[in-house]
A and B are shown apart, each in its own frame.
Chain A
Amino acid sequence: MQHRKRTLTFLLVMAMLALLLQACAGGGNAPANNTGNVPANNAEGNNGGNNAGGNNGDEGNTTGADAAELEPYEVSIIYYGTPERDVPLVEEKLSEYFQEKINATVKLVPITGSEYKQRTELMMNSGEKMDLVFTASWLDFFSNVTKGAFLELDDLLAEHGQGIQETISPLYLEAPRFEGKLYAVPTNKEITQSKAFTYRKDIVEKYDIPIEEIKVNDDLMPWMQVIKENEPDIIPNFVTGGGGDGIMYESRSNYRPIGPTPAKIAAFFFDYTQTDSIEIKSALDPEIVKLNETEFELYRDFYEKGYTNGDAATSETAVSDVQRQGKMWLQRTVWKPGTDIEMSNSTNNEYEYVSQVIDEPIVTTDLATGSMFSISHTSKDPDRAMMVLNYLHTDPYVVNLLVHGIEDVHYKKVGDNRIEQIADSGYGKTALFWVVGNQMLNYLKPGQPDDLYTNWIQYNKDATRSPLLGFVFDDTNVKNEVTQLTAIATEYKAISTGGIANPSELLDERNRKFELAGIEKVRAEIQAQVDAFLAEK
């Protein structure tokens, strides 16, 4: 008895102590929250709340802003890239330049790919000060927007981002919107991608393969056999475990994925050629089931005929390794102008490639938001952040400094708009061209054709606009269902590889589990949101 009482007293004292300390912690935290609120209010309309912003707004043009009128400010740029030795050097150079132009310095914060999501979300959760933050649909951009991570950018863009508005395709600015408001500025590059079969050129020529006639996986069957018989070193159909859905929907139908893709498996679809009313179908729809079955059984057939690598269901071998070894003749790729050359480069130019695009490229919310910068709600000077972003989209010096480093230290200029990187220079090894600003201002590298960027501009112009561009699914009401669908989808992801027996049965099993997990509820929710979205338009 005595003993128990003592323990109790002790625990009480400890608990009080802990609470007291927590209170201190809470007190320490409060100001951080307050400052967090200021820009948030700002975003709701009165953009002049900030001194620097107010002054600058009168002039209306960043490039014309007088550096002396602005308070010094450090703009932090958090971006997706592996840290390199000479980051501080580049940071210094950039700061020098910005100091002169807008009296700002920059703080470069590269974060490596595998850690990017975790680290940035930690910073967001703890309300750390950030200015420009790299984000993307695949980095949960929209869920971060609903949680209030980023500032609304329409006004800021109008005020300090004229350069961006002039250079970027307007389609781009339709996509990163939530409830009609802009929350990010996409990196200016290719706006969409096509699905394609990409072949090794020498093989195509050797066997005279009519690649224009190959539109779906079935058409490949005879050629797989030819390869198997004549090219013992080549795996006719190389598949990796994380294979996902391949390119079946694009090649066999007008259905395109929409809404949540649990574990990267497309589970909800719409027909992109429909215009006025759009019907959302789930993976349980007979038509979709049929598509899946046909494809999965075909892959199983490939596997049983010995065309596919034996470890297809689990292989994690990097495609690039197999490719470099000359073991592949065919790849199902996402394609844009220049892909064939990029791929050739990645095999150190040992092989040449030729692609046949099999779908009509459409601009979807997901693709157009694949690489962007947002301004954090914790930014102390969002105006200045937007000015820096404007430079990243318009100033070749700034973009190339950030992407390639310093001239003659990290790269050599070999032509007007063309460079060669210096090996092991301490900068420029991590690929930043698709991350920052305007890729079309990047110097060209060996192998890239002179007309690369003009091709892109044309490609962007020709791309079809998805009727649901700008639509974003808000999963708040079906979070539970989506988590469960995700868990189920991962469990069955290997059925598309052919490496597992009886894919149709397993598909059936998966779909029954999907049904139990509430896939219909999610479908209905998407349908309702899509209807509302279309009605608003």
Chain B
Amino acid sequence: MSTSLNNRARPRTRASRRENTLSPLSGALLNAAFLIVSLACLMPVVLVILVSFTHGDAILKNGYSFWPEQFSLIAYTSIFKDYGTVAGGYAVSIGVTIAGTALSVVLMALFAYPISRGDYPYRHAFTFFLFFTMLFNGGVVSRYLVYTQLLGLKDQYMALILPLLIVPFNVIIMRTFFQTTIHPALIESARIDGAGELRIFFRIVLPLSLPVMATMALFSTINYWNDWFNALLFITSEHKYPLQYLMMRVLNDVQYLRSNVELAAQNPELLRDLPNESLQMAMAVVGMGPILIVYPFFQKYFVKGLTVGAIKG
């Protein structure tokens, strides 16, 4: 660690970089391993997509198949038949995700930084204050009471944003990143140069922490995008529901009817429009589609050595 601020000249030539790579054999082995793992992760998703394009009857007959016997768009046409609702759901999801992520990353960083500072006298207390909420919570009923009766958040978009703003786990990870990547001497020298705390944070700490900020932004985005439970609790207007909730509602109803056989038996009509697995998979695809393109967007911040070099260079 101590050498990181050493101003020793570094031979950063292309030649030295190339030297520091794996032997061709190890490289090939590593690639082969990654290829297998990646396929294991990719194929099921491909299967989900293919099933969503397969006719329900064919699924019932043959199970899932990579070679659909009966190609069909019926699942998608029935989802987008009510395109107004789907479009509305997308709009709410995107809005909440963007606003929530932006707010969340800023707030988490503002908390994580002070508690990462070895000289900040209240760091243990605040860390504990945060950590405690990770384990103990009052449960759904009391949260519902506070949200609806005290904060007046029933049927408000804020009720979708607030619950996921601060994820204690992520704040503590962030704190650890700040501790390991930001050397105290760096802050000390900035202070000697006359920079205030806020300036140090925004001008030195944040730029140095792009990988972790990107990581947290990614986590927040995923969190907000996938959240449907808070919508179930707090949203009552049909047009304010996020997309994932609308999709999950159908999936949950299917599960519910299947596990309540006698209810369905008494009312066969409940089962008539029960979505088949093709439709369920199509909903999964519609629900996760946009989020899949998010990762490559964040990825560019994970490039090795980008940050430290940039600051010092």
Q: Which A positions have Cβ atoms within 8 angstroms of B?
A: 3, 6-7, 10-11, 14, 24-25, 28-29, 32, 82-83, 85, 87, 109, 112-115, 118-119, 122, 125-126, 128, 138, 193, 240, 242-244, 264, 316-322, 325, 333-334, 339, 342-343, 345-346, 370, 424, 429, 431, 434
Classify the secondary structure of A's interface with B: helix
Stretch touching chain A among B145-153, B179-187, B202-210: B145-153
> Interface residues, chain B, CB within 8 Å of chain A?
56-57, 60-61, 81-82, 84-85, 121-122, 124-126, 128-129, 140-141, 144-146, 148-150, 232-233, 236, 238, 249, 252-274, 276
| Residue in A3, A319, A325 whose beta carbon sits within 8 Å of that of B57 in the complex | A325
Q: How far is the CA of A112 from the CA of B235 in the complex (A)?
A: 13
* Chain A residues with CB below 8 A from B122, complex form: 6, 10
- Taking A11-B125, A320-B264, A346-B268 as known contacts, 16 extra A-B pairs with beta carbons closer than 8 A to each other, sorted by chain A number, are A7-B124, A83-B238, A112-B249, A114-B256, A119-B232, A126-B141, A138-B263, A242-B259, A243-B261, A316-B259, A334-B265, A343-B268, A345-B269, A346-B269, A424-B81, A429-B273
Bound form: Cα–Cα A321–B150 in Å: 47
**A355 to B125 alpha-carbon distance, docked (Å):** 71
In the assembled complex, how far is the CB of residue A139 from the closest CB belonging to chain B, in whole angstroms? 10
Task: Find chain A residues with CB under 8 A from B273 CB.
Answer: 429
B253 touching A10, Cβ below 8 Å: no
- Interface on chain B toward A: helix, strand, loop, or mixed SS? helix
Closest A residue to B272 using CB positions: A346
Cβ contact within 8 Å between B253 and A321:
no
Residue contact B140 to A122, C-beta cutoff 8 Å: yes
Asked if B125 and A25 sit within 8 Å, CB to CB, the answer is no
Residue pair B128, A11 in contact (C-beta under 8 Å):
yes
Question: What CA separation (Å) do A322 and B277 show in the bound complex?
Answer: 13
Closest to A433 in B: B269
CB closest chain-A residue, reference B261: A242
Nearest B residue (CB) for A84: B238
7 A-B contact pairs sorted by A residue (CB < 8 Å)? A3-B124, A7-B125, A115-B252, A125-B141, A128-B148, A318-B254, A319-B264
Q: Say whether A126 contacts B148, CB under 8 Å.
A: yes
Measured CB to CB, the closest approach of chain A to B265, in angstroms, equals 5
Complex contact B266–A370 (CB within 8 A): yes
Residue from the list A87, A115, A242, A318 in contact with B238, Cβ < 8 A: A87
C-alpha gap A29/B253 in the complex (Å)? 33
Contact call A320/B272, Cβ cutoff below 8 A: yes
Partner of A126, one of B149, B238, B268: B149
Given A85-B238, A126-B144, A244-B261, residue A431 in contact with residue B270 (CB < 8 A): yes
Contacts of A28 in B (CB 8 A): 149-150
Q: Which A residues touch B269, using CB under 8 A?
A: 342, 345-346, 431
